[in-house]
Structure formats: C-alpha cells, structure tokens
Chain A
Amino acid sequence: MKIVPVRHPWRWAASGVIVVLVAMLVNTLVFSHVVRGGTREGRFQWGVVGHYLFATPILRGIVVTLELTVIAMAAGVTIGIILAVMRLSPSRLLSGSAWIYIWFFRGTPVLVQLFFWYVGISYLYQHLALGIPFGTAFFTLNSTTLITSFVAGALGLSLNEGAYMSEIVRAGIISVDEGQTEAAASLGMSKGLTLRKIVLPQAMRVIIPPTGNETISMLKTTSLVSTISVVELFQATQNISNTNYQVVPLLTVASLWYLFFTSVMTVGQFYIERHYARGSSRQLPPTPFQRLRMSMRHARPRPGPFRVEAPVAATYD
C-alpha cells in the first residue's frame, strides 16, 4: 500500500515569504541605486566602505577596541572570581563588602562610571599616593598624568564587568554538587586547591556561555569610551566621517568590523564550551566540520518506507 506523508503547507508558505525577503535584502544591499546630490550611486556605497575598511586609522582603532576588550574581560573575570568567592564566604564582612561592590557597580550606568573615572578622579583627588594609610606616602603621582582617557576607560569597563562576572561565577560555583567539595576534602585537598582543580573546572560549563555573551557585549560596549575621547574603532570611523561627511559608509565600516569580531568570538566560544563539556556529556557536540560530514553521509539515498535500518552510529574523530 502506498504511504502518503503528512504535508506541511504552512512550512512551504513561510519558506516562500522568506525567499522573497532575502531577495529584497540582496537587491537593496547589492543592486539598488539612488541619486544623491545629482549623482547616481550604489545605495550602500560599497566602494567607499571598501576604501576605508582597511584604512590605517581604522586598524589603529581596532587595536584599541581589542585591547580594551581583552583588558576589561581579563580584569573583569579576575575581579568576578574574587568577588564570587567573597560572596560565598561564611564571613559576613567579606560577603557583605562583595555585595556592596556589586550593588554599586551594577546600580550605576557604565557610561556615568566611565565619566567618573575620566573627570571625577582627577577632580576629587589631584594626587594619588602609595604608602601607609593615614601615614607616609612612598610616592605620589599626579592624577591627570596617571589616569589617561585609555586608563579611565579600561578601569571603568573592568570594574563594572567585575560586578557582572561575579554573579556569573557565583552561579557556576553553586551549580557544582556539594559532594564534589566533600570528596575533595576527604582526600585532604585544601579549599583553594578544591576551588581551582575541582569546583571551577566544573563550574566552567555554567560560566562559559554567559561569559561569551559578556565578551561579545564588552566588544561593543567599548564604543562608549569614545565619549571620553579614546580613539577606538567607533571614534576612528567618526573622525573620518567628520571630515569627509561619508557618515553612513563609515558606520557600515564600524558595523562590519564589530560583526567580524563577534563572529570570531562565537566560534571561539563553541570550542571552549566543547572543551569543558568533557566528562559531562557522553558524546561531545559535533564541530561544524563534523556536522557537515555527517549531513553529507545522511544525504545518501534514504531507506524506503518499510525498510528499517539500524541507526547510523556517528563516529567522530
């Protein structure tokens, strides 16, 4: 007897709509033209975009953006781990001070914090000194020379990120079964050793995905430091469009670069997550290449209606 498979008319209709929308998008991006100031030119001016995409000032801006992202995330994760451990400490003083830190830095906008570091510090404290509290100073520095706009930006982003990361790390730590800490203790491991070797590696599975989000978010948030006169990627494009008035093509340049780096990070995140999935899932998720190979294997002629085949055991190498 012939088997009639279930039809999915709405799936076909939705696919049709999407095909039309994609066609419109390609058309407007690539083929459409407009007349601006009497000359006919491509709507998105890809020529201008291409001209500035690898311009030296832009590349310099990218370096600053990446520097800020790396510094802020590295410092943020470090501060986050310290704060998370403090918050989980039985000492009320430690957990309380960590709570206050988080309350303060999460409770004020990062833009305001950035301005505070940039103008506030040198206004409130003309000199910064290292020495004994309430006693002698070993050496003193002028705030305005120490807190450059880059330093202010890095400080502001790091301290703010620390507050968010601490909550992510804390969630990761408390997700690890208590039995793990007990087993480690029963082997004579110290608290620090247990945290480093047993708890944090397992907490990573919970910590990595939101940290990936934070890193991607941080890359974009660095554009805020343009307001305290750091020339990062966004400010670099602004500087150019301020002189040649090609505002939109340069915004496109900035967007393309941000997209490129967030894409790279997404790929990186996938492999880091896969690394930390060892031992928790019996089968690691396939990498895109493995998935491609698998789908090619599956694309072979399918079995007929009544031919039941044993499921293909996927082997990854």
Chain B
Amino acid sequence: MAEERAVSAIDDLRGRIDEIDAELVRLLNTRAECALAIGQAKQIAGLNVYQPGREAEVLAHVQAINTGPLDNAAIRRLFERVIDEARRLERLADLQ
C-alpha cells in the first residue's frame, strides 16, 4: 500500500510540474515580448543590444528575492540563460 501511495504521489507531483512548466513557458514568452519591445526602443534610441549594466541589475534582483531551495548561484545560472535567449531574440528581430 505504501508503494502504491508513493507512486500515486509521484504522478500527482508530475502533473503539478507540467502545470508549472506551462505557466513558466507562458511567463517566459511574456518576458520575451517585453525584451523585444525594449530591443525596438533600444534601436530607436541608438543603444547597443548588449547592456551589461542592466543585465547585472536583473541578476542581482533575482538573487535578492530568491528564497530557495535553489541557491543564488543556481538562480543566477538559470537567469543567465534567460537573458542570453532574450539577447538572441533581440538580435534576430534586428535583422528583420
């Protein structure tokens, strides 16, 4: 019985993860839309795609509000990837 309960708990948790992932994807795309809008504004303002000061602020912010269990280094690495992809999106938009 204990094994059955454990298996059913895993199924529930996996369902929950799928829901969270769907929400994450939605949020990441909403974030990407913001980044694209900023990219267009940067182009009009004649600013570079790469703004290291702003990227540092973003990374500092997400680490400051982090409550775990992911440690700050892990949060930093995850958001570095988010930023890398946003920058790529801005570059591709620039080409069009």
Mutual binders A and B = no
Mark B residues whose CB is within 8 Å of A: none
